[in-house]
């Protein structure tokens, strides 16, 4: 079954609001084994909403319309559906009572135009409103002799999510002949470009294209790494898992330690877990990233069990005075090692990670923009250092430096006896 | 002129990535007086991409395609455009050289499939790639005897934004018959809720609704503050500015110091500028925000003139040992003041800002989740402290704490003789 999505609102086209609703709906549809192949944003214009809806119904079995159910003159979703159904809008007294009660419950006087929300196309079913004043709608439509369905839900995210779970998804599942589910498995990787991954996985991709399932896609996700996503469609979640497992195993064998996690794993969670397993604390010395590594690590609830702190030594004087780095060039492996050793000492940490580099706009110490020196100081007193060249301009260079440094720490920890 | 947007990527439909690109593009088009009436998300499927593109070209004068320009087998935007143009893809040696050079510059070996990105539809112009490996495309298409244009830009936001500003918008303006421009002026505010701002600006909004122009919109933008955007359409930018100026003046009079900046001003830029004017350096002591304040400040190029560093004292021991905070509860105004004073001393900074609080998941020192204590230590030895209650859960609480603390520092600096 195919269900496309139409998000209604001029503010979406103007970029005043990002359309997160259709993303959420798309995720929910996939989890319920329903394809969503087209998602459209259209403004508050009756003719265009109507056109978009007719087109969507020509391709899809069902359409979820999100937004345009409010009380004001530019809320036109009801009118558009009524036109496409060829059914007049009728005043629903029960819906109107509920609206009046909602206002009374909030001790607010109700503007008359709120009763526009009680208009329901003839033949449509109402999804009772429990959070906002606008009810949702379930509207059967006959297109070329085939009965399809249009759902209308409010644009307010929590109202939409409530009606989607309570009424729309159950109704879609009921109508759907296809009981299959779509299951995705995402391998999180770092250490190679998207194209490099693609080339190494070429044989796998070739086999998958022959088999037709699971499908494989690459998602370059900035400082969250590059994701390799496998998606399988099957009668049950267990069947889908059975399709995914051997492919995942094969990819892991090819990519080895480049796979740092799965699905919602993040590099910082993985690193914190490796340290937690050894009972080690972590300290940082950040220069080029200016606190971004610490900021990311402390996003993880419970990070305080492992992470003690960071010396953000942005000025060279702080590197010299606080961390004990030798006066001289501060973008070098030697400086990075001294920063790491200094952070271990100052913060009383078991392990320390240090970053120094050149984010630009100009070169520094004769090192070009993009240079990153990373050092790791370990409990046995050893310290290792690497010099890398990061891509991009200031922000991208800094973000890539964060995940690259955390990945180097991860590899150090994995390599330890 | 009408320019619609097609965002390409199955991950967008599955809700694994939210399509922020078309929102940004829509905002930019509006700012350039170009209508964008339909924005579509389509998956990595050649037939469907082609269908969506043909439909978009039937309605619009121009189409911006975002994404699907990568090197891998599921990047199909080039092929779809070539099909719609009825023009074969040709290998562009100059583009290929640039790709090779980009890899060489990063000391990385280039996978051969990267050269797929050097394929250009016959008759299309190339937008040279400066940040990523994929070039953009400007593709003239004749539809029913009318010449229209398809632009292709990468899905990586910073690459897209660069090509949009550098090539797409100028080209669109050249082609656009409509000389009118839309000018927006955004007042950046912090210190009051959206509804609170709305109430205080009620009289202004009423007058604008009567006048019809400029229009006013509120954009709650998380830790970037709440934006009040004025938009005017006029024959020339000067005419638009003349419409905006008196309204802006009136709003500033009402909101006073809640307006911290305009348009692209950020709280961190404003604070750095206030410090730069006085020739003062800044140091930080961060606990609850764990480096986020430092990370944000160092996003600003040239921050190093003012910002010396931060002691991210996540563990209480680091507060005691490094910053000299008295042993005891660490979420208090006293602890915040001692952190700020300690940071000034340790980092040799003129001014220090300190944050301590409770991000959750559980309360701390008997203080509930959401508690934020902020202190500022000033060159004259004075230190001030505030306790606030931040909204939301962990991430939101931390982000709100960042802009709130920077705003308190801004107000301290403004209040100084």
Find chain B residues with C-beta within 8 A of A18's C-beta. 18-20, 23
pLDDT at A235: 87
pLDDT band at residue B108 using 50, 70 and 90 as cut-offs: confident
Lowest mean pLDDT among A117-121, B200-204, B217-221, B276-280: B217-221
β-pairing verdict for A3-8 and A38-42: parallel
A396 in reach of chain B (CB within 8 A): yes
Of the three residues A132, A149, A176, the one that is the final residue of a domain is A176
Are B295 and A289 in contact (CB < 8 Å)? yes
| Cβ neighbours of residue A338 closer than 8 Å, sequence gap 6 or more | A319, A323, A324, A325, A326
Q: Does A365 touch chain B (CB under 8 A)?
A: no
Contact predicate A159/A153, CB 8 Å: yes
Asked whether the beta carbons of B406 and B293 are under 8 A apart, the reply is yes
Whether pLDDT at B188 is above 90: yes
Place of tokens 């609830």: A301
Which of A30, A301, A396 has the CB atom closest to B394's CB atom?
A301
The reported pLDDT for the residue numbered B26 is 95
Matching residue, tokens 């402390």: A298
What percent of chain B stands above pLDDT 70? Answer: 100
Instruction: Find the mean pLDDT for residues A245-265.
Output: 96
Tell me the chain A residues in contact with residue B281 when contact means C-beta distances shorter than 8 Å: 315
Binary contact (A26, B14; C-beta < 8 A): yes
pLDDT attached to residue A288? 97
CB B113 within 8 A of CB B74: no
**Residue B177: pLDDT over 80:** no
Residue B369 structure tokens: 């989740």
> Which residues are registered as beta bridge partners of A89?
A121
CA distance B237 to B235: 7
Is the minimum CB–CB distance between A42 and chain B shorter than 8 Å?
yes
Token representation of residue A201: 């996985």
Is the bond leading into A95 cis (omega within 30 degrees of zero)? Answer: no
- The model carries a pTM of 0.79
Q: What's A400's domain CATH number?
A: 3.90.950.20
Instruction: Note whether A74 contacts B: Cβ–Cβ < 8 A.
Output: no
Give the mean model confidence (pLDDT) for residues A322-327: 98
Rounded-to-integer distance, Cα A62 and Cα B120, Å: 37
Structure tokens at B273: 């500028």
Distance CA B288, CA B353 (A): 13
Q: Is the CB of residue A377 less than 8 Å from the CB of residue A340?
A: yes
CB neighbour burial string for A104-122, b if at least 16 within 10 angstroms, e if fewer: eeeeeebeeebbbbbbbbe
Q: What part of B 258-287 touches A (C-beta under 8 Å)?
A: 281, 284, 286
Tell me the three state secondary structure of residue B29: helix
- Contact call for A194 and B321, based on CB within 8 A: no
Task: Estimate the crossing angle of helix B46-59 against helix B77-85, to 10 degrees.
Answer: 50
Instruction: Decide: A63 and A57 in contact? Cβ < 8 Å.
Output: yes
> Which residue on chain A is closest to B402 by alpha carbon?
A295
CA distance linking residue B312 with residue B289, whole number of Å = 8
Q: Return the closest-CA partner of residue B32 out of B194, B211, B164.
A: B164
| pLDDT for A74 | 80
With a cut of 90, say whether residue A392 has pLDDT above it.
Answer: no
pLDDT over 80 (residue B391): no
Per-residue pLDDT at A137: 98
**Which among B2, B342, B313 has a CA at the least distance from the CA of B146?**
B2
Count Cβ–Cβ pairs < 8 Å, chain A vs chain B: 271
pLDDT for position B130: 84
* Contact call for B286 and A284, based on CB within 8 A: no
In the prediction, which pLDDT does A182 show?
A: 76
Average pLDDT over residues B61-89: 95
- Answer whether A346 touches B (CB < 8 Å): yes
Quick one: which of B347, B349, B344, B339 has its CA closest to B373? Answer: B339
Closest-CA residue of A relative to B308 is A315
Helix (H) or strand (E) holding B248: helix B237-255
Which residue from B27, B292, B315 is facing A15, i.e. has the nearest CB?
B27
Tokens for B28, please give them: 């930019």
Average predicted confidence (pLDDT) for chain B: 93
Do B316 and B258 share a structural domain?
Answer: no
Residue where a domain stops, chosen among A262, A291, A325: A262
Q: What per-residue confidence (pLDDT) applies to B377?
A: 98
Same-domain pairing of B217 and B171: no
* Mutation site for B-interface testing, chosen from A160, A290, A388 by largest number of B Cβ within 10 Å: A290
Q: Tell me: do B29 and B145 sit in the same domain.
A: yes
Q: Are A153 and A66 contained in the same domain?
A: yes
**A303 — contact with chain B (CB < 8 Å)?**
yes
Please name which of B162, B166, B176 lies closest in space to residue B62, comparing C-alpha atoms: B176
pLDDT interval class at A184 (50, 70, 90): confident
Q: How many domains does chain A have?
A: 3
Distance CA A339, CA A320 (A): 9
Pick the range with the lowest mean pLDDT from A20-34, A75-89, B40-54, B347-361: A20-34
- Closest chain A residue to B229, measured at CA: A16
A108-126: average pLDDT:
89
CB under 8 Å to A301, separation ≥6 — which residues? B360, B361, B394
For residues B195 and B223, state if they share a domain: yes
Mean pLDDT of chain A: 93
Q: Which residue has the tokens 């991430």?
A: B395
Per-residue pLDDT band at B178 (split at 50, 70, 90): confident
* Nearest-CB residue to A311 (from B27, B73, B311): B311
Confidence of residue A109 (pLDDT cuts 50, 70, 90): confident
For chain B, give percent helix, strand, coil, nearest 5. 45, 25, 30
Q: What is the ipTM of this complex?
A: 0.78
Cβ contact, residue pair A23, B15, below 8 Å: yes
Q: pLDDT class for B380, splitting at 50, 70, 90? A: very high
What mean pLDDT comes out for the span B179-196? 84
Structure confidence by residue, pLDDT tens digits, B255-303: 999 999 999 899 999 999 999 999 999 999 999 999 999 999 999 999 9
The answer to whether residue A105 scores a pLDDT higher than 80 is no
Category of A100 on φ-ψ map: left (φ > 0), alpha (ψ -120 to 50) or beta: alpha
d(Cα A92, Cα A76) in Å, to the nearest integer?
A: 17
pLDDT greater than 80 at residue B181: no
Reduced to 3 states, what is the DSSP secondary structure of residue B207?
helix
Angle at A91 between CA A89 and CA A93, to 5 degrees: 155
Question: How many C-alpha atoms does B51 have within 13 Å on its Cβ side?
Answer: 14
Do residues A243 and A288 share a domain? Answer: no
The CATH number linked to B212 is 3.30.70.2860
**A26 CB within 8 Å of a chain B CB:** yes
A50 and A160 housed in the same domain: yes
Q: Decide if pLDDT at A81 tops 80.
A: yes
**In this structure, are B289 and B385 located in the same domain?**
yes
A8-12, B31-35, B171-175, B375-379: which range is least confident on average?
B31-35
SS3 of residue A225 by DSSP:
coil
Chain B residues with CB-CB distance to A395 below 8 A = 158, 299
pLDDT on residue A6: 98
Q: What percent of chain B has pLDDT over 90?
A: 76
Among candidates B105, B111, B309 on the partner chain, residue whose Cβ is nearest the Cβ of A312: B309
CB nearest to B314's CB, from A20, A298, A346: A298
- Cα(B184)–Cα(B240) distance, rounded to whole angstroms? 9
**In chain A, what residues touch B16 (CB-CB under 8 Å)?**
27, 184, 186, 219, 229
CB contact under 8 A, A309 and B314: yes
Extract the runs of DSSP E, i.e. beta strands, from A136-287: 136-143, 146-153, 181-189, 215-220, 226-234, 259-262, 282-286
Rounded-to-integer distance, Cα B53 and Cα B42, Å? 10
Predicted local confidence at residue A26, as pLDDT: 94
B195 touches chain A (CB under 8 A): no
Q: Sorting pLDDT into bands at 50, 70 and 90, what band is B407?
A: very high
Q: Based on the domain organization, do A274 and A247 belong to the same domain?
A: no
Across residues B128-157, what is the average pLDDT? Answer: 93
What average pLDDT does range B93-118 have in this prediction?
89
Indicate the pairing of strand B282-286 with strand B351-357.
parallel
Which of B108-117, B336-345, B375-384 shows the lowest mean pLDDT across its residues? B108-117
Q: Within this chain, do residues A17 and A127 fall inside the same structural domain, yes or no?
A: yes
Q: How close A332 comes to chain B (CA, Å)?
A: 18
Q: Is B360 on the interface with A (CB under 8 A)?
A: yes
Which chain A residues have a beta carbon less than 8 Å from that of B286? 291, 294
Among the candidates B230, B247, B262, a domain finishes at B262
For residues A116 and A37, membership in a common domain is answered with yes
Spatial separation of the C-alpha atoms in residues A155 and A21, rounded to whole Å:
7
Q: Which domain holds residue A225?
A: 181-262
- pLDDT at residue B253 tops 90: yes
Q: Is A348 on the interface with B (CB under 8 A)?
A: yes
Check CB contact under 8 Å for B27 and A16: yes
pLDDT at A157: 87
Q: Which helix (H) or strand (E) holds B47?
A: helix B46-59
Give the pLDDT confidence of A231-252 residue by residue, as tens digits: 888 888 899 999 999 999 999 9
Which pLDDT score is estimated for A98? 92
Q: Are residues B170 and B215 in the same domain?
A: no
Q: Is A54 on the interface with B (CB under 8 A)?
A: no
pLDDT score at B417: 84
pLDDT above 80: residue A209: yes
- Here the CATH number for the domain that contains residue B161 is 3.40.980.10
pLDDT at A388: 95
CA distance B262 to B228: 10
Q: Which residues of chain B from 82 to 101 reach within 8 Å of chain A, CB to CB? A: none
Q: How many angstroms separate the CA atoms of A79 and A96, rounded? A: 17
């Amino acid at each position: 079954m195919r269900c496309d999505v139409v998000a209604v609102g001029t503010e979406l086209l103007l970029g005043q609001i990002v359309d997160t609703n259709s993303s959420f709906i798309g995720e929910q549809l996939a989890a319920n084994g329903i394809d969503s192949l087209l998602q459209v944003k259209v403004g508050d214009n009756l003719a265009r909403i109507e056109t978009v809806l007719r087109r969507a119904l020509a391709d899809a079995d069902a359409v979820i319309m999100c937004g345009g159910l409010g009380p004001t003159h530019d809320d036109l979703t009801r009118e558009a559906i009524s036109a496409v159904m060829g059914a007049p809008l009728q005043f629903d007294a029960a819906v109107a009572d509920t609206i009046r009660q909602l206002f009374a419950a909030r001790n607010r006087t109700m503007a008359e135009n709120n009763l526009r929300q009680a208009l329901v196309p003839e033949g449509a079913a109402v999804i009772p409103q429990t959070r906002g004043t606008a009810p949702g709608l379930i509207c059967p439509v006959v297109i070329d002799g085939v009965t399809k369905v249009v759902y209308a839900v409010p644009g307010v995210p929590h109202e939409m999510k409530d009606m989607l779970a309570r009424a729309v998804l159950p109704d879609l599942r009921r109508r759907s002949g296809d009981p299959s589910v779509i299951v995705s498995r995402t391998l999180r990787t770092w250490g190679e470009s998207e194209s490099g991954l693609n080339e190494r996985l070429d044989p796998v991709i070739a086999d998958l294209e022959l088999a037709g399932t699971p499908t494989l896609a690459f998602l370059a996700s900035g400082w969250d790494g590059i994701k390799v996503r496998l998606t399988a469609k099957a009668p049950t979640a267990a069947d889908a898992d059975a399709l995914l497992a051997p492919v995942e195993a094969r990819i892991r064998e090819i990519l080895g330690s480049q796979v740092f996690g799965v699905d919602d794993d993040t590099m910082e969670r993985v690193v914190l877990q490796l340290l937690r397993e050894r009972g080690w604390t972590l300290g940082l010395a950040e220069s080029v990233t200016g606190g971004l590594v610490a900021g990311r690590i402390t996003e993880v609830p419970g990070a305080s069990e492992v992470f003690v702190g960071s010396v953000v030594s942005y000025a060279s004087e702080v590197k010299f005075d606080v961390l004990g780095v030798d006066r001289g060039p501060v973008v070098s492996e030697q400086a990075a090692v001294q920063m790491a050793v200094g952070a271990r000492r100052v913060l009383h940490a078991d392990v320390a990670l240090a970053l120094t580099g050149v984010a630009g706009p100009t070169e520094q110490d004769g090192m070009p923009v993009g240079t990153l020196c990373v050092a790791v100081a370990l409990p046995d007193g050893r310290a290792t250092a690497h010099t890398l060249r990061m891509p991009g301009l200031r922000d991208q260079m800094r973000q890539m430096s964060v995940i690259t440094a955390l990945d180097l720490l991860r590899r150090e920890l994995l390599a330890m006896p």
